[in-house]
């Protein structure tokens, strides 16, 4: 045991995002409109099309990360991706970690934990 | 055995736990993940981090 680091996940890798969306059974679309309340539509670089009435818009920010915006009204989005995009960020981080490890020839084992967290053990380090 | 454990919470926070390393090797092993995943929120070094790597000593005793 040597050190613990805590990271706040930021979306940078579109392929990892694509994989996370696929696992959630959601479409990731490019250069289209995200649906919001009433007739509010926001054009965005990427849109995660949800099953409910509202979508998630993603736009690249100056620091290279993708900012997420959505309409949280009435819990529609929270139901699909978790409060504050939790489930989406979780799966993005899982897929991003796996991609980074595998691209370095390391092994990855994934396990679901009872508290809802996902554990990845990286071997060959 | 050296391993890197990554726990991703249901809110998308990532906790990286490097185990079985001595000295600062653990930082080299996890740096690629820390940089790739996002923004550093906290870092805690465990006692082993400060452990020096084994060195071989040679002693000569004259008669």
CB-facing half-sphere around the CA of A9: CA atoms within 13 A: 30
> Shortest Cα distance from A20 to chain B (angstroms)?
12
pTM of the model: 0.87
**Which 48-67 residues of chain A touch chain B by CB within 8 A?**
65
pLDDT at B56 over 60: no
**pLDDT in the model for residue A89:** 97
Which residues in chain A are closer than 8 Å to B31, comparing Cβ atoms?
Answer: none
Edge-first strand listing for the sheet containing A66-69: A27-35, A41-49, A56-60, A66-69
Confidence class of residue B52 from pLDDT cuts 50, 70 and 90? low
Q: How many CB atoms lie within 10 A of CB A11?
A: 26
pLDDT in tens, chain A (125 residues): 467 889 999 999 999 999 999 999 999 999 999 999 887 899 999 999 999 999 999 999 999 999 999 999 999 999 999 999 999 999 999 999 999 999 999 999 999 999 999 999 999 88
């Amino acid at each position: 045991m040597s050190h613990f680091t805590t990271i706040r996940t930021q979306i940078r890798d579109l392929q990892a995002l694509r994989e996370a969306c696929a696992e959630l059974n959601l479409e990731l679309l490019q250069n289209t409109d995200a649906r919001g309340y009433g007739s509010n539509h926001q054009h965005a670089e990427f849109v995660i099309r949800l099953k409910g009435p509202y979508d998630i818009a993603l736009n690249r920010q100056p620091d290279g990360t993708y900012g997420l915006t959505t309409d949280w009204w009435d819990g529609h989005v929270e139901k699909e991706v978790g409060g504050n995009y939790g489930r989406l960020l979780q799966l993005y981080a899982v897929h991003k970690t796996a991609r980074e490890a595998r691209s370095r020839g390391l092994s990855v084992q994934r396990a679901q934990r009872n508290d809802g967290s996902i554990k990845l053990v990286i071997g060959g380090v | 055995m050296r391993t890197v454990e990554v726990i991703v919470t249901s809110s998308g926070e990532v906790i990286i736990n490097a185990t079985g390393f001595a000295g600062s090797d653990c930082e080299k092993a996890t740096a690629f993940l820390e940089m790739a995943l996002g923004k550093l929120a906290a870092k805690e070094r465990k006692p082993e981090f400060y452990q020096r790597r084994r060195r071989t000593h040679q002693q000569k005793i004259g008669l």
